[in-house]
Homo-oligomer: A and B are copies of this chain.
Amino acid sequence: MTNRRSFLKTNTTLAMAAPFLSPGFYPMRKQKRNKKLGVALLGLGGYASGQLGPALQETKHCYLAGIVTGSPSKVPKWQDKYNIPDENVYSYDNFDSIADNDAIDIVYVVTPNALHMPFTVRAAEAGKHVICEKPMEISSDRCRKMIAACEKAGRKLQIGYRLRYESHHKQIMDFAKNETYGKIKVMDTNFSFYGINGSNWRFTDVSLSGGGPLMDIGLYSLEATLYGSQLKPIAITAQSYKSIPDKLPGMEESIFWQMEFPEGVIANCGSSYAARSNYFRVSTEKGWYAIEPAFSYGGLKGVINGESMNIKNHNQQAAQMDAFAINIQNDTPVIASGAQGLQDMVYVEAIYEAAETGKKVRV
């Protein structure tokens, strides 16, 4: 790490100039491609500790370089476990000084949803590329501010849509692109878990979560219908329900929504904190295929017309972060872009509007 940091320090001017030079004319840029980018995790909750920290031990194009946390008590364990130097540890108060730390190329924002915007903006303003965990934020307006901040800073933004980088899900994207089994007719997906009694912010504080299961896990079903069809919906209907009035304040407990896409393609979707489902199915002119479980961190199973897809599971978060690192190194477009995160939030808002009004919402 020391070598990497001292290299970056001596090359700061060149590195800043690099975007304006064509790769072929600038050998230092080529050299930069071959080194791992430093990631700082911002927010050390369950997803950071359970998934992202371990994943960053498997990444080839980036590594866990720093942490940003509002919980000082978490710091020693992270430093010990991942050999993080003191100078790469930040609080939310001194976070903006990360601008001066060349060891950090990427800030991965893993806070509660409604903190994604302020931290993404601060990270971009500090000159860092940003990965923002899903959902992008709690409103499309806030998503737009995040995109604007990253564009203004000339930094890339990825949304933590790990499944857009996962092999089973990439397979079904290819099926849609190539019409391998003919045109898609009907999609059917549900991601639910039984969390009705949960005490986490996502079950208790709508000002942080922005919504119930749709915002949290239904978003995976929504995403799957989009990349799984390679289409954009044109109209949405939805219904939301609650069985225990004093739980999940301000949030739905269960939500179903239906989407119409061009050429009569339709999707029936559901998400609930009071159920147990985890699947994505596609019926086409010539057959069907499905992933079930579809949205877990591992152990996904793909089936085509009843036969296994025979696709290996891999570390989804490592694939996602490596892809982003390569996007930065090669200045290529981000797949799980801020634009996609914003688009999804527009659909989420349409789903909530349809559920609240009982009317079909054109999108």
**Partner of A270 from B192, B241, B263, B268 at Cβ < 8 Å:** B268
Q: How far is the CA of A227 from the CA of B287 in the complex (A)?
A: 30
**Partner of A239 from B237, B270, B276, B277 at Cβ < 8 Å:** B237
Complex interface residues of chain A between 167 and 218 (CB less than 8 A to chain B): 185-186, 188, 190, 192, 194
**Partner of A244 from B242, B258, B264 at Cβ < 8 Å:** B264
- The answer to whether B268 touches A190, judged by C-beta atoms less than 8 angstroms apart, is yes
Q: Which residues of B contact A268 (CB under 8 A)?
A: 190, 256, 268, 270
Fill in one digit per residue for A226-261: 1 if any B CB lies within 8 Å of its CB, else 0: 000000000001010111100000000110101010
- The answer to whether A266 touches B254, judged by C-beta atoms less than 8 angstroms apart, is yes
Q: Which residue of B lies closest to A253 (CB)?
A: B264
Instruction: Answer yes or no: A281 CB below 8 A from chain B CBs.
Output: yes
Instruction: Answer yes or no: A272 CB below 8 A from chain B CBs.
Output: yes
Instruction: Answer yes or no: A5 CB below 8 A from chain B CBs.
Output: no
Q: Which residues of B contact A99 (CB under 8 A)?
A: none
Identical chains in the assembly: 2
- The answer to whether A275 touches B194, judged by C-beta atoms less than 8 angstroms apart, is no
- The answer to whether A264 touches B276, judged by C-beta atoms less than 8 angstroms apart, is no
Instruction: Answer yes or no: A339 CB below 8 A from chain B CBs.
Output: no
**Partner of A186 from B185, B244, B272, B281 at Cβ < 8 Å:** B272
Q: How far is the CA of A260 from the CA of B265 in the complex (A)?
A: 26
- The answer to whether A277 touches B237, judged by C-beta atoms less than 8 angstroms apart, is no
**Partner of A276 from B242, B243, B258, B283 at Cβ < 8 Å:** B283
- The answer to whether A258 touches B260, judged by C-beta atoms less than 8 angstroms apart, is no
- The answer to whether B241 touches A260, judged by C-beta atoms less than 8 angstroms apart, is yes
Q: How far is the CA of A287 from the CA of B193 in the complex (A)?
A: 10
Q: How far is the CA of A214 from the CA of B238 in the complex (A)?
A: 20
Instruction: Answer yes or no: A359 CB below 8 A from chain B CBs.
Output: yes
**Partner of A283 from B264, B275, B285 at Cβ < 8 Å:** B275
Fill in one digit per residue for A325-363: 1 if any B CB lies within 8 Å of its CB, else 0: 000000000000000000000000000000000111000
Fill in one digit per residue for A277-297: 1 if any B CB lies within 8 Å of its CB, else 0: 100010101011000000000
- The answer to whether B264 touches A188, judged by C-beta atoms less than 8 angstroms apart, is no
Q: How far is the CA of A285 from the CA of B237 in the complex (A)?
A: 27
The 10 closest A-B pairs by CB, nearest first: A243-B264, A275-B283, A186-B275, A276-B288, A185-B274, A256-B268, A276-B283, A268-B270, A241-B266, A239-B258
Given A188-B270, A239-B258: 13 more A-B contacts, CB < 8 Å: A185-B194, A185-B272, A186-B272, A188-B277, A237-B358, A241-B264, A242-B264, A243-B265, A254-B266, A256-B266, A256-B268, A272-B283, A276-B288
Q: List 16 A-B contacts (CB under 8 A).
A: A185-B274, A186-B254, A186-B275, A241-B266, A242-B264, A243-B264, A243-B265, A244-B264, A254-B266, A268-B268, A268-B270, A272-B283, A274-B283, A277-B281, A277-B288, A358-B360
